[in-house]
Amino acid sequence: MDRRPYEAKLDLKSPNRNISPITSEIDEQGKLMVGGCLLSALADEYGTPLYVIDENSLRTSCKAYKNSLAEHYEGQSLPLYASKANSSIAISTVICQEGFGLDAVSEGELITALKAGIAGENIVLHGNNKSKEELKLAYEQGVNIVIDNYHDIQLLESIVIDKDRPANIMLRLTPGIECHTHDYIKTGHLDSKFGFDPDQLEDVLIELINKKWALLNGIHAHIGSQIFELEPHRDLASVLADALKLAKSIGHPVKNLNVGGGLGIRYTESDDPPSINEWVKCISTSVSNACKERDLELPRLICEPGRSLIAPAGITLYRIGSRKTIPGIRTYLSVDGGMSDNPRPITYQSLYTACLADRPLNEADETVTIAGKHCESGDVLIQECLLPKSESGELLVVFATGAYNASMSSNYNRIPSPAAVIVGDGMSDLIQQRQKPEDLLSFDLLPKRFER
């Protein structure tokens, strides 16, 4: 069978427009497979909860960005993976193999990227409160450092001793552009902790021109995440082009224009994000036109997709446990994970789609609330989930969980983190080991005065 669950408009070229990974298929027994692997077999082998990453979906998304940039932008370009979405050596290695650079926001993400073989010159370090240790490592590795505020400038000035080897920096500005997304993931509006405000731009550019330790090679802005609109990105191009022209007029050799990321994905049937090609065409055309209008040479165009690369490639597998029916109100189905492996519903009120792994095409006959196992009333993964009548022990698949699930996970209630596997061509490989309860004690210390 070639039917795929919940796919009204399967897009094999732009996985962000699909709910399930592009390799999803139903076997002869009616069970769901991803990457040529039977999901229930993966759960039996690796346990649950289990993060599963479809290699084909991830590589397809990478190629879509690379090919679209080559098609629509006349100048040089470099897509970066916003690794805060899901950082691991294996995922970063795939990204590197596909010709991407990487966007890091911490020393841990930076070390992971370097371990995966990504060259420092193709890494960008972000952050509104970078530590001296993070900046020092970035400088030593030749990483492009995004200057977010004057604190960054002061710290870097104390780090860069060798004036013959200046730090490669980009300047982040707050463009003042609103987009329709969750308040917590809006970063381009003026009331933001990120970046220099527009009225600070000229002053900081003048200050930096006299800093021999600094080589300003780029301008950066980011307007938010999970965005379905294209118009804000058109507006951003004009703001960035104005900043680029100002920087060049002051004498900075700026060659990079970094538009950030933000392309949304399809979590539910009602979501309708642009394709990767549509998004790239929009930013490419907008940047080209804005630069030509200002008589500027085309800069190297940098973008930073994260969610749109990795989220559609990921699913999470859970075992269903207890059932509680409150007549006339709701039925709770509890699973063996929850807010510790997916904090997005309780944090952002995020919506997800789910099905039963071994009965994905069975007629749904009840609406249930998928609850987590944590000691928290708000630990609910899906408020209203339409499923066939299920039994304890059945396997639940939650789609589009590749971004901000593992990376935002916690050990709340001292629950161990799930394992993660990557699947492709019928093979599965462990990329992150499952924690054991005793692992959570490894950093605990008992003061001697407490001993009896």
375 is catalytic: yes
- The pLDDT of residue 6 is 61
What is the b/e burial string over 389-401, where b = at least 16 CB atoms within 10 angstroms of the residue's CB?
ebeeebbbbbbbb
- The pLDDT of residue 138 is 98
Q: Residue 302 forms beta bridges with which residues? A: 78, 258
Q: What CATH architecture is 126-305?
A: Alpha-Beta Barrel (3.20)
- The pLDDT of residue 191 is 72
Hey, is 387 helix, strand or coil? strand
β-pair type (32-34, 25-26):
antiparallel
Class of domain 15-54+312-440: mainly beta
- The pLDDT of residue 184 is 37
- Give ranges for CATH 3.20.20.10 in the chain: 126-305
Residues of the chain with pLDDT under 50: 1-3, 180-189
- The pLDDT of residue 327 is 95
Name the catalytic one among 37, 303, 375, 385. 375
- The pLDDT of residue 4 is 60
- The pLDDT of residue 183 is 44
Angle in degrees, 0-180, between the axes of helices 132-140 and 107-115, rounded to the nearest 10: 20
- Residue labelled with tokens 């971004």: 403
- The pLDDT of residue 185 is 38
User: What is the distance between the alpha carbons of residues 218 and 300, in angstroms, rounded to a whole number?
Assistant: 9
The residues, ordered by sequence, that sit 6+ positions from 254 with a Cβ below 8 Å of its Cβ are: 216, 217, 218, 219, 244, 247, 248, 299
Q: Is 70 exposed, middle or buried (0-12, 13-18, 19+ CB in 10 A)?
A: exposed
- The pLDDT of residue 7 is 61
Q: Which stretch of DSSP H or E encloses residue 146?
A: strand 144-147
- The pLDDT of residue 186 is 41
- Give ranges for CATH 2.40.37.10 in the chain: 15-54+312-440
User: What is the distance between the alpha carbons of residues 260 and 257, in angstroms, rounded to a whole number?
Assistant: 9
